[in-house]
Amino acid sequence: VTLHLNPISSVHIHQKPLVFLLNSPLPLVWKLKTERLAPGIRRVFFVSLGSVVQFEKGNFSLSAETEEKLFPEKNERLLQWAQKEYGAVTSFTELKISRNIYIKVGE
């Protein structure tokens, strides 16, 4: 699955830390494609067991962290866990089948 990350239109370059929970019932390879995300900013990708994140060439991967995590099975529990762990959830998306996911990051 390719994860496309771009800032919202009102933000020229996104310069804030990000945390993603990438959960799947089956192990996946998450291919990351980014545009206009500042280098050197901490970005964390928690993936379900057996999954990996592949970064594009460049220095984005130098400030990104990937960690496998055993997530709660139900989406409601996953959302509650994320809110407790991080204090807020700005976006939650559930897809049954997808090859590409487009996410706009920003305020």
Number of structural domains (the chain) is: 1
H helix intervals, 1-107? 75-86
From CA 7, how far away is CA 68, in angstroms rounded? 25
Q: What is the pLDDT along the chain (107 residues), one digit of tens a residue?
A: 999 999 999 999 999 999 999 999 999 999 999 989 998 899 999 999 999 999 887 667 778 899 999 999 899 999 999 999 888 888 888 998 999 999 999 86
Closest-CA residue to 4 (of 24, 25, 42, 33): 33
Q: Which residues constitute the domain of residue 78? A: 2-105
From CA 89, how far away is CA 46, in angstroms rounded? 14
Q: What is the pTM of this model?
A: 0.90
Write down the pLDDT at residue 7.
94
From CA 58, how far away is CA 87, in angstroms rounded? 31
- Write out the H or E segment, with its range, that includes residue 7: strand 2-7
From CA 97, how far away is CA 47, in angstroms rounded? 17
